[in-house]
Structure formats: C-alpha cells, structure tokens
Structure 1
Amino acid sequence: MEQAEIRMLGPLQVRRADGSVIDQGQWRCSKNVDLVRMLAADVGRPVPLSSLVSRLWPDADEEHAGGSLRTAMSQVRKLLGPESLERRQGALVLRHAWVDLQAYAVLLDEAAAARRTQEHERTVALVREAEALYVGDVDVAESSGSWLHELRQHWRERRCQALVDAADAAAALCSMRDSLELAETAFTLDRHSEQAARSLMRALAGLGETRRALRVYEKVRRGLAADFGVDPSPQTTAVHLQLVTERAEDVAGAGPLGHLRPVQELAAALSRARIAQGGVVWLCGPAGSGRDTVTEAACERLGLTLRNLNREWLP
C-alpha cells in the first residue's frame, strides 16, 4: 500500500499517498494538525488516548475531550484515508505514513553505532545523509501546547550531538575542513555546548588557525559565565591549555626568540588568570633579558591586546 508523506523538519508538509499536498486550511483547526504531529512523532507506535487528550485539551472534562478527539480523528481520516488511523487497546496509531523524523532518527542511531565502533567514514556519511533531511527545526507555529516545543528542542539536541560526533570522526580521518564545517554547524546550534566548542577548537587548530580556536574558547567561557555563572569544564580547559602550549612552541621554534619555556609558562599563567577572571602575573628579569618579547609572544598567541603603561607592557 502506498504511503502518505509527513515532513515535520521545517514547515509542516503533509502529502497524501496520491501525491497531493494537504493545504493548511483543509485541517480546519490547529488541534487536528497537532493530532497528526503527535501521532507522526511516534509513527507506527501506539500513543495512549489519555496522552493525546491531556496534551490537546488539558482543561476539558473527559466527555468533552473525548468528543473533540473523535472529531479530530474523523477529519484526519477524511484527509489521509480511512485506514490512516487505527485504535488499539486505548491507544491510537498512525499507519501507512513515511515521516521524516523517523527516517532522521534511524540515520542518527546508525551514526551513533558507527561512532562507537570507530567507523569514522560511515559516521560522517550517515550524519551528512541525515543533514539532508533536516530542512529546519520542528515547526511550532500555531501549536497550543509546550509538548511541540519540547519535541523541537529534543531534535535540536540530537542533531547537535550527531554533528559533534561527525566532526570528531572527520578529524580522526584528518579531514579537518569537513570537521570544521560540521563543528561550526553544531556550535551555531548551541553556543553553550562545550562538546561542540572543543570539536571546533580542535578543527581550527588542525588547520593552523589557533588564534580563532582560542577565540572560540573565549566565546564559550564568557557565555557560560554570563548565562549560568559557571566556568568551562576541565575537559574544555585542557583543550585550551593544549592550544596555548602548542602555539607557544610554534612561536619559539619559528623565530629568533627561542624562549620556549618562558613563553609557555607565561601563556599558561595568563590563561589561568583569565579563567579566574582576575589576577596578577609578575614577570621578572633584568633589562635586555627579553621580558617584553616573551610577553608579546605569549599574549599574541592568546589573542590578547597589549597596552603600554609607563613603558611596561600590560594585556
């Protein structure tokens, strides 16, 4: 039997088995649309009638809510066909329908399994295939309940995690530009996601853009502090310090400075002071010992701006 097609990622679109698209006005009211959305989110699985009623008509008594549900079911059957809905022991099932959310979920589950077994190429390929389905977030327009907003957030979070997994898999394949693209998309979805931030920092560093990677750290650090009053996790801080150290090594090895250890130590000390949101770093040495040069190198690698006060360089 041919299937109807229901797309919930992006603007809701319902296409009958004959290929015709159901116009918004044909649903008659938003409750009928919400019923289809609820059933489509669990297509092929029974959804308890009590759950449908409590979400769609939370303030109605049992008699009126039951009547409203029967009316909505009648309209859905009229639009999708008499066999589209089936009652099973106090539950309702949507049948004969392909739903993009279900296809998307299958791809993400397969990608997660591939990631666990370190099948990096397969992980990236599956997530990219899933991304082709993700036209946009679940559309919450004209919905009267919080459940659809929760569904929307659930799939945003799953998408973000899948993108991070794919970014890390691409990095394991040394495909740093692919890793960067995937990690940037994940970080755009959730600016507070430290996993996404770490993947993005590593991808940028792998492309030699350490300064940009350090700016990502600053962005997530400030966001966490401003919105939640917390510092980055030890894992994120460790990636940051690794980048600081590697950048100091690059500077020390590339020019006449040669002060590898002082640059490393100063960069790490400045980084710790910034994480603590305050502090003093005292750099001692006689005139001509290279204090200014070490300071400039460490601060440049951290992306800090220097100010000269009384002939002394301060970040």
Structure 2
Amino acid sequence: KPTRTVRALLVFLLLPRDHTHRRDMIAGLLWSDLPNKQARNALSTTLWRLRQVLEPDGVPKGAYLLANGSDEIAFNCASDHWLDIAEFEQQTGRALAIPVPLLEQPDLQALERALDLYTGDLLPASYDDWALVEREQLRRLYLNSLAHLMRCREHRGEYGQALTAARRILDLDPLREEIHRAMMRLHAAQGQRARAVRQYDRCRLVLDQELGVSPMPETQALLAQIRRSPDRQPANDNPPAETPFAHALAELQRARQEFAQAQERLQRAIGLAERLASLPQSSLPARNLSEHGKIDRS
C-alpha cells in the first residue's frame, strides 16, 4: 500500500497535469522541514517507491513516470490512465455553464455522477501549502456544483432531491445561510412547516456559536412568512424581497464569514511564495508536456 508521502508525490505530479517539475522544487515543497540534501534524498526514495507502484515488473520504465536521469520529474500524460479529478472538473464545469432553467435530466444525472467522484478532501493529512490550495479549490468546486444541483432540483419541483443536495452542502459548510434558507423554503414547499422552523433554529444556533451573529433579515422574514402559512400549504418558493438595507446587512455578514478564510489563504500563499523565492531559479518548472490524460488512483 502506498505511503502518505508516495501518494502526496503522485498528486503533486498530477496537479497541474501538463508540467514538468524540477527536483529541487519538489523536494523544497514536500520536505520543507529538511535541509536541501536530506530533502533530495527523501525525494529519491519516495520516487523509487512510487515507481514500484506504477511501474512494477512487466511495465516499461517511463510508462507513467518521466524521470530518466534528468533533473526533471513529470507524470507521463500520454499514458493510458483515468483521473477522477479531471473527470470531476470537466463534468461539473460543463454543468455550471448551463443556466438552471436549461438543465435537463441527463445533465443532472451527469452532474450527480461527477459529484459522487468527490469522496472527501484531497490529501486530508497533508498541511503543505500546495496541498491546501488544491484542496480548497476542489472543495469550492464541489460546493458550488452542489448548490447548482440544488437550485435545479428546486426549479423542477423535486424538493426531496433538492433537500438532499442542500444537506450535503451544510455537512461541509454549515455557515452557508442561503442554504439554510433554501432548506426552509423546500420544507415549506412540501407542507412541512415545523421542519422549516427547526431548520431556522439550527441556522440561528450555528451562526451564534461560530460567528456570534444573528440570521440575516431576509432569513427572519422568511421564517415569519412560513409561520403565517397554514400547515400542509406550501410557502412561496421565492425568498421575500430584499430591501437595500437588508442587502447591505447580508453583504456585511457574508464578508465577515469570508474574511477569516481569506486571511488564512493569504498566509498560505505568502508562505508558498517565500518558499519558492528561496529556491534557485533553475529549480522552477521548465517546460510543458503533451496533452494530459487521466489516472485511476484506486
């Protein structure tokens, strides 16, 4: 079974999928806590172990890894392989480019298959800057695609499936207040007023515990609208009209939610830039490979 460092090296070579990498750069990023010589030795050992996995006896050397005596390492993108991340990015990107009213059932099914490829964070045990950046990008794409799916299902009146997508979003990002509102509307549309009210209570609790703030005015207005609706009578699927003042408050809260995340990403980017700046210019990526393919990481 591949070790954590072997898996990390493979992912690093695959992302991005069309570049070669200098050994010094890889060693400096993946073994930043070691002196240069020890980091290079660790890279050589890990590369040898990765080759044993990808190119065992009977598989030609260079079939998957291009590192034959040069100071550059790359994944052979011309090889016969399938990459789940490439499929995920391609299919979700295609679906996101289609407006909600124009998505048809085959499009939704393709989007759901793509979302099933995302089984968790990329390299969750790694805290290297490059891994954190890739992990965050994939997570955002996953959440945005789920939100698109939720809106499409709601537009089609498929409230149960829309609720399933909404729950998956909140499992990863419970502070998404617009998703809490969507779930309130969806429960109300099914005539489940009590569940809609409980969803508001969950939203209020998580915002208070994590941010020390109350729900947005439009969320409170939606709650009032739902409470006025009789049992078993669907509420209006559209959120109440947003006044300029309410909109300003909503934007302020969104900014507060995103500020801490932005600060963290900035610190990671600064650390990565400083680390790259300390490397010799000759260790930076040099050239591109041929058109990329895909790999099965099972």
Normalised TM-score (structure 1) = 0.60
Using a 3 Å threshold, how does the CA distance of structure 1 residues 203 and 90 change in structure 2: closer, same or farther?
Answer: farther
* Partner residue in 1 for 2:290: none
Q: Give deviations 1:269-294, integer Å, cap 9, x for gaps.
A: xxxxxxxxxxxxxxxxxxxxxxxxxx
Task: Select which of 46, 66, 71 maps to 1:72.
Answer: 46
2:93 — aligned with what? 109
Ranges in structure 1 where 5+ consecutive residues have no aligned partner:
1-23, 254-315
Q: Deviations over 1:295-315 (max 9, x none)?
A: xxxxxxxxxxxxxxxxxxxxx
Query: RMSD over aligned Cα, in angstroms?
Result: 3.1
Specify whether residues 177 and 43 from structure 1 end up closer, same or farther in structure 2 by C-alpha distance, changes over 3 A only.
same
**Contact preservation (8 Å) 1:112, 1:123:** no
Q: Secondary structure at the match of 1:208?
A: coil
Cα distance in structure 1, aligned partners of 2:150 and 2:132: 27
Distance 1:193 1:238, change over 3 A: same
Equivalent in the alignment of 1:166? 149
Change (3 A) 1:228 1:144: closer
Is residue 128 of structure 2 the alignment partner of residue 128 of structure 1?
Answer: no
Match of 1:92 among 44, 57, 73: 73
SS of structure 1 residue aligned to 2:181: helix
SS of residue matched to 1:230: coil
Residue 164 of structure 1, CA deviation: 1.4
Q: Equivalent residue for 1:228?
A: 211
Identity %: 21
Residue 17 of structure 2 aligns to which amino acid in structure 1?
Answer: V
Q: CA deviation at 1:179?
A: 0.9
Give me the whole-angstrom Cα distance separating, in 2, the residues matched to 1:48 and 1:214.
Answer: 56
Give the direction of change, closer, same or farther, for the CA distance of 1:65–1:240 in structure 2 (3 Å limit).
same
* Rg larger in structure: 1
Contact 1:47 1:92 in 2 (8 A): yes
Q: Distance in 2 between matches of 1:85 and 1:199?
A: 47
TM-score normalised to structure 2 length: 0.63
Asked if the contact 2:207/2:214 (under 8 Å) is kept, the reply is: yes
SS of equivalent residue, structure 2 residue 175: coil
Distance 1:58 1:192, change over 3 A: same
Give the Cα separation in 2 of the matches to 1:199 and 1:212. Answer: 12
Q: Does structure 2 conserve the Cα–Cα contact (< 8 Å) formed by 1:123 and 1:169?
A: no
Look up the equivalent residue of 2:112 and give its one-letter code: R
- The CA deviation string for residues 2-42 of structure 1, in whole angstroms up to 9 with x for no partner, is xxxxxxxxxxxxxxxxxxxxxx1xx4x54233211222343
Q: Judging by fraction of residues, say which structure has more strand.
A: 1
Task: Tell me the distance in 1 between the aligned counterparts of 2:6 and 2:206.
Answer: 40
Structure 2, unmatched stretches of 5+, are 56-60, 234-298
Deviation sequence 1:151-207 (CA, Å, 0-9, x none): 445433332221111011111111112111111222222211223223222221221
Q: Which residue of 1 aligns with 2:218?
A: 238
- Match for residue 279 of structure 2? none
Question: What corresponds to 1:305 in structure 2?
Answer: none
Give the direction of change, closer, same or farther, for the CA distance of 1:188–1:109 in structure 2 (3 Å limit): same
Q: Distance in 2 between matches of 1:242 and 1:51?
A: 53
Does residue 1:33 correspond to 2:7, yes or no?
A: yes
Q: Is the 8 A contact 2:92 2:115 kept in 1?
A: no
Choose between structure 1 and 2 for higher RCO, CA contacts under 8 A separated by at least 6 residues: 2
CA distance in 1, matches of 2:213, 2:178: 16
The amino acid across from 1:250 in the alignment is: P
Q: How many residues align?
A: 222
